Amino acid sequence: MIAAGATIGRLQQALPLDPLENRILLCHALGLPRVALITQSERALTAEEAARLGALVQRRLDGEPIAYIVGEREFFGLPFRVGPAVLIPRPDTELIVELALERLAPQGRLLDMGTGSGAIAVAVAHTRPDASVTALDVSEDALAIARANAAANGARVDFLRSDWYGALAGERFGVIASNPPYIAAGDRHLAEGDLRFEPAGALTDHADGLSALRIIIDGAPAWLEPGGWLLLEHGYDQAEAVRALLAARGFAGVQSWRDLGGIERVSGGRL
Return residues touching ligand GLN (CB under 6 A).
87, 90, 179-183, 195, 203
Q: Nearest to residue 203, comparing CAs of 182, 224, 229, 227?
A: 182
CB of 70 to ligand GLN, least distance (A): 19
CB of 219 to ligand GLN, least distance (A): 18
CB of 263 to ligand GLN, least distance (A): 10
**Residue 91 or 227: which CB sits closer to ligand GLN?**
91
CB of 8 to ligand GLN, least distance (A): 33
The amino acid present at 50, given as its one-letter code, is A
Please check whether residue 269 is in contact with residue 247, taking contact to mean a CB–CB distance below 8 angstroms: yes
**Residue 108 or 118: which CB sits closer to ligand GLN?**
118
Cβ of 98: how many Cβ atoms within 10 Å? 15
Give the single-character DSSP code of 265.
E
**Residue 173 or 182: which CB sits closer to ligand GLN?**
182
Q: Nearest to residue 204, comparing CAs of 182, 229, 174, 171?
A: 182
**Residue 149 or 179: which CB sits closer to ligand GLN?**
179
Please check whether residue 86 is in contact with residue 140, taking contact to mean a CB–CB distance below 8 angstroms: no
Q: Provide the CB-side half-sphere exposure for 2 (13 A, CA).
A: 30
